[in-house]
Structure 1
Amino acid sequence: MKNAKTWLLILCISIFVSLFLGRYGLSINETFSALCFQGDKIANSLLYNIRLPRILLVCLCGGALSIAGMVFQTIFKNSLASPDIIGTTSGCSLGAILGILFLNDVLMIELSSFIGGLLSLFLVYFLTRRSKGNEIVNLLISGIIVQAIFTSLIMAFKIVADPYQQLPSIEYWLMGGFADASWSNLLICFVLILISVFILYRLRWSIQIIGFGQEANTLGVDVKKIRNRALIFSILLVSSVVSVAGPVSWVGLLVPHMIRLWTNQPISKNYVLTFLVGAVFVLWCDNIARCLFTIELPISIVTSFFGALYLAIIFRRGKKVI
Structure 2
Amino acid sequence: MRAISYTRATDVPGAVAAVTNDPGSSFLAGGTTEVDLLRLDVLRPNRLVDINRLPLAGIEDRADGGLVIGALARMSEVAEAPGVVERYPMLSQSLLLGASAQLRHMASMGGNLMQRVRCSYYRDPESACNKRVPGSGCSALEGVHRGHAILGTSEHCIATHPSDMAVALVALDAVVRVEGVKGTRTIPVDDFFLLPEDTPEREHPLTPGELITAIEVPALPMARRSRYLKVRDRESYEFALASAAVALALEDGVIRGVRLALGGVATKPWRAHRAEEMLLGQPADEDAFARAADAELAPAVTRPMNAFKAELARRTVVRALRTAAALRGEPA
The bucket for the TM-score relative to the shorter chain is under 0.3
Judging by fraction of residues, say which structure has more strand.
2
TM-score w.r.t. length of structure 1: 0.24
Structure with a larger share of its residues in helix: 1
* TM-score (normalizing by structure 2): 0.24
Structure of higher RCO (CA pairs closer than 8 Å, 6+ residues apart): 1
